[in-house]
Amino acid sequence: MRFSRIALGAFLSLALCTGAVNVRAEVGEVRLAAQFGLAYLPLIAMERLKLIERHAQAAGLGNIKVTWAKFAGANVMNDALLSGNLEFSSLGPTPLGIMWARTRNTPNEVKGVAAYCTFPLYLNTRNPNVKTIRDFTEKDRIAVPAVKVSGQALTLQMAAAHIWGQENYAKLDSLTIAQSHPDASAQLLSGKSVINAHFTAAPFHQMQMKDPVIRTVLKSYDVVGGPATAIILATTAQFRNGNPKTYRAVLAALEDAIAILNNDKKAAAELYLKATPSEKSTPAEILKMIEDPDFIYTTTPHRVYKYVEFMEKVGVVKVKPDSWKDMFFPEIHNLPGS
C-alpha cells in the first residue's frame, strides 16, 4: 500500500509537470523583421510599447522574449523565414505571392497574418531626360528593395507590360539594383552615384522631393487602379499551428498598435522619430505624411490579388489563389479585403 501511494504521488507529480509543459509548450522567443521607413511604424509601436509581451502574458505564455531585426529586402527575409531564423517577416504583396505559391500545401506554407500599411510607391529620378518610364535607357539605374520580387520591382513590371505589352514586362529589370531605402535615397540625393532613380515610399519620397532636381515618374496607385497594400506581416502554417496562442498574441498586438497610431497621429509621429534618430524630417513633416489620405494603417488587405494575378499571367508564379483569402490565415477573412 505504501508503495502504491508513492507510485501514485510520482504519477501525479509527473502529470502536473507534463501539464505545465503543455501549457508552456509554445516558443519562448518570437523573432520579427521589418525593413526601413514610416510604413513599419506599427511594428515600431509593437516593439516600443511591448504589445506582444503584454498579450503573451495575458494568454498565459509568461515572459516570452521578443527579438526585432531589420532587413534591406524581402528576399533575405524570405530565406530567414523558411530556414527557421524568423517567426514573422514583413512582405509586400508580390513577395508574399511568390512565397505562398512556392510553399502552398506544405507544412511550411507561408501566408499573411494581416496587412498593416497601405501606401503609394513612388518612382523618382534626377535624370532630367526621364519624363515617363519610356525614357529610361541603359545608362539609368533604378534602386528597388529587392530585384524582381519587391513590390516596387513588380509595379515597374506591371507598368512596363501596360506600355510595351505583356511579353515585355521585364524590359526594365536590367536597370534595377537592390538597395535599402536609406542607402538608395542617400545615393540619389548625392547625385554622385550610378543610381539616378529610386522606387521608394514615405518618408524617403518626401525627403527626395525637397530637392528641385528630383521628380516623380510613376505612382503605384496609378498602375494598380487605387490604394494597394504595401506591407503584410507573414508567417508559416507550421508556426501558427504549433503556437496558436503566440500567433494570436502577435496579431492582437498588431491590431492594438494600429488602433493606437490611428487614434493619436501626433504621438505616432513622435514615436517614429524617437525610434529612428537618423531621420531628418521634423515632427510636423512626419505627421503630414501620416495624415495623407493615401497613407493608411490597416489590417485589411487591398489589391493584393491584383499583384498575384499579374504574376501568374507572366509566369512569375505557376499558380494563383482563388481569392485573396487563400494567401491569408483565417483570422482576418472577415475583413473586406481584395
DSSP line for 118-132: E---EEEE--TT-SS
pLDDT along the chain (338 residues), means of 10: 40 40 73 87 96 97 94 76 92 91 94 96 97 97 90 94 95 96 94 96 92 97 95 96 97 98 96 88 92 96 95 91 97 98
Same domain (yes/no): 232, 328: yes
Same domain (yes/no): 233, 110: yes
- Confidence at residue 249, expressed as pLDDT on a 0 to 100 scale: 98
- Confidence at residue 72, expressed as pLDDT on a 0 to 100 scale: 64
Domains identified in the chain, total number: 2
Domain assignment present for 289: yes
Same domain (yes/no): 197, 50: no
Cβ(143)–Cβ(179) below 8 Å: yes
Same domain (yes/no): 90, 174: no
Measured CA to CA, the distance from residue 267 to residue 261 in angstroms comes to 8
Q: Which helix (H) or strand (E) holds 17?
A: helix 2-23
Q: What is the CATH number of the domain that holds 68?
A: 3.40.190.10
Same domain (yes/no): 162, 240: no
- Confidence at residue 44, expressed as pLDDT on a 0 to 100 scale: 96
- Confidence at residue 73, expressed as pLDDT on a 0 to 100 scale: 63
Same domain (yes/no): 113, 136: no
Last residue of a domain, one of 196, 224, 252: 224
Residue 225, sorted as left (phi over 0), alpha (psi -120 to 50) or beta, turns out to be left
Measured CA to CA, the distance from residue 151 to residue 155 in angstroms comes to 6
pTM of the predicted model as reported, rounded to 2 decimal places: 0.84
Residue 153, domain extent: 122-224
| Cell numbers describing residue 117 | 500599411
Same domain (yes/no): 299, 262: yes
